[in-house]
């Protein structure tokens, strides 16, 4: 009789394990979908930040006719830091993937 009860418990435990594995797979696929959404949003934000950065014409430099005010320089620094932060998963100390952004 005890063996019968033990095998019933074993079957129940195996069913619970199978249910939890299915639930884990479902949750993992939801997480993957959310990560994809986040990556798409980050790329969109990066594109907007780079477009905003283009209005400063950094390629022309900062000398003579291209001098900037302190507030413009501050805004440029913030944009560059935001871009590095978004590109490097929250670490603004690493370089950007665009070399011109690293030397600006």
> For the chain, which residues make up each domain, given as ranges?
2-103
> pTM of the predicted model, to two decimals?
0.68
Q: What is the C-alpha separation between 26 and 7, in angstroms, rounded?
A: 29
Q: Are 96 and 85 in contact (CB under 8 A)?
A: no
Check residues 22 and 100 and name the one with the higher pLDDT: 22
pLDDT tens-digit map of 35-50: 999 999 999 999 999 9
Question: For 63, left (φ over 0), alpha (ψ -120 to 50), or beta?
Answer: beta
CB contact at 8 A, 33 and 67: no
pLDDT at site 44 = 96
């Amino acid at each position: 009789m005890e063996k019968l009860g033990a095998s019933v418990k074993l079957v129940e435990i195996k069913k619970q394990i199978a249910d939890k594995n299915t639930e884990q797979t479902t949750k993992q696929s939801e997480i993957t979908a959310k990560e994809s959404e986040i990556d798409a949003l980050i790329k969109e934000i990066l594109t907007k930040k780079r477009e905003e950065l283009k209005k400063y014409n950094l390629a022309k430099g900062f000398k003579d006719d291209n001098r900037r005010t302190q507030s413009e320089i501050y805004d440029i620094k913030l944009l560059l830091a935001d871009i590095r932060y978004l590109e490097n998963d929250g670490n603004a100390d690493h370089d950007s993937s665009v070399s011109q952004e690293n030397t600006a």
